[in-house]
Amino acid sequence: MHRRVFLKGAGAATALSVGSWYAYDRGVFSVGEGPAYEPWKDWRGDSSEGPLALVHAAILAASPHNTQPWRFRVADSFVELYIDPKRNVGALDPFLREEHLGMGCALENLMLAARAKGYAATAALMPGILSSNSAQSRSELVARVDLAPGTREKSELYDAIPRRHTNRSSYERHSPLPKDLSGLSQLPNEEPNVRLFLFTGEADHQRIVKVSSAANIELYSDPCVAAASEQWIRWQWKEVQRSRDGLTIDAFGLSPMAAAAAKAMPVQLLNRIASKSQSTGYRDRMLTAPLIGFIAVRDRYDRVQCLEAGRVWQRAHLFATARGIAARPCNEAVEMVDHERMRGRAPRCLSQLAEITGDPTWQPTFVFLMGYSTEAAHASPRRSVQASLNA
C-alpha cells in the first residue's frame, strides 16, 4: 500500500524539463491509452454476443494489486472460472484469500453481463478451505456458470462496469454522501454468510485507521511482503503496455502534474520517495474518507464465502460508481490477520477488528473507503480476453 500514496507534493519541474520524445516514451501524455487499456473500450464490441461476451465484462473486475488471477473456459452453455495461483502477491496474501476475492469480483461482473445479454445464469461455487499458496501450483476451478435462454435485464450496475475504477486519491471528508448510498447495506441479501459493516463516525474512523496504519507499517517492514508487492508495480510505461497488469502511476491517485513528474523520474528515485511517505500518506488518506466499510464473513478461509465476499465488493463498488462516489480497498488490517496466522503468532489484529465490529462471529475479510474524490480515477491495464482463456 505504501507505494500508492507517494509524491503528493512532487512538483511539475521534472516533467517539464524533459524533451517531448522522452515524455511520450514514458507515457506522460498517454493516460489510459495503448493496447493495455483497449479492454475498457471494446468490452461491448465485436464479441458482444455469445458467452465470450461475458468474459469481456468479467476481466474488467477488481483484483488485488491488479493481478487478474482469473482464467475462463467458455462453451455454448456455460463458463467456468479458474484461479491461477501463480498470479498472486506472495507473502502479502499467503492463503490466496484476496485472490479468491478477486475471482468473486470477476464472477459478479460475469453474472451482470449474463443477465444483460439475455441469459438465465446459475452460478455454482466450488467448496473448499484455503491453504497456503505454496501448496497450490495449478489452475483450479472455483465457479461454473450455467447458461440458458432468458430475458435481457440490464441494470445500473452493469452500465457502471466500464466506469468503475479504484480511486486512491484523497477524499472530501466533510462532503455528505447521497442518501440512497444507504442501500449498500442491502447488497449482501443474496449471500447470507456475508455482512457489511459501515462506519461514518469520527471515533470509529480513528480506531480503524489506527489499526490499519499500524498493520501497514508492520507488513511492509517484512522484506518478503515488500518484495512480493513490488513485483506488481509497473513504474515504466513500456512495462505497463507489455504486462497489462499490476499497479501503475496513473492509478496511484496523484494530481495530473504529480503523475507526469513521477513518470519522468528514474525508478530508483521513485522508490526512495515512496518509502519515505509510507506511514503518514497512508494514514492521512484513510482519514479523508467519510465512509469506511468492512465486508465480513463467518469464515474468512472458506472458499465459497471468499467468492461471495468478492461478489459483494464488486457490487458495492459498481453501486457507488453509479452514484458518482469513489471507492478503494484499504485492506492491510485483514492482511495482517493472515500474516499473524501464517507465522503462528497471537491473533492481535483479529481481536482489534472484533472490538470494532462488536461481533466476533463475523470476520472482516475486506476493508474499503468511499467518498467524493479530489482527483479523477484512471483505468488500470487489462490483459486481453484471449490471454485470460484456459488453454
pLDDT, tens digit, 9 for 90 and up, residues 320-376: 999 999 999 999 999 999 999 999 999 999 999 999 999 999 999 999 999 999 999
**Fold of the 1-391 domain:** NADH Oxidase (3.40.109)
Q: Which residue has the cell 472458499?
A: 303
For 52, counting Cβ atoms within 10 Å of its Cβ (0-12 exposed, 13-18 middle, 19+ buried), the class is middle
Take residue 285 and report the three cell numbers written for it: 488518506
Beta-carbon-side half-sphere exposure of residue 162 (alpha carbons within 13 Å) = 12
Residue 22's pLDDT is: 57
Say which amino acid occupies 266.
Answer: P
CB 18 within 8 A of CB 264: yes
Count of C-beta atoms within a 10 Å radius of residue 385 = 19
SS3 91: helix
Examine the pLDDT at 4 and tell me if it is beyond 50: no
Beta-strand runs (E) in 16-108: 70-74, 78-83
Take residue 390 and report the three cell numbers written for it: 484456459
Q: Nearest CA to 116 among 75, 150, 163? A: 150
Examine the pLDDT at 21 and tell me if it is beyond 70: no
Bin 196: left if φ > 0, else alpha if -120 < ψ < 50, else beta.
beta
Take residue 186 and report the three cell numbers written for it: 442491502
CB 70 within 8 A of CB 106: yes
Domain residues of the chain, as ranges? Answer: 1-391
0.85 exceeded by pTM: yes
Residue 15's pLDDT is: 40
Whole-angstrom Cα distance, residue 6 to residue 281?
7
Strand pairing report for 363-371 and 326-329 = antiparallel
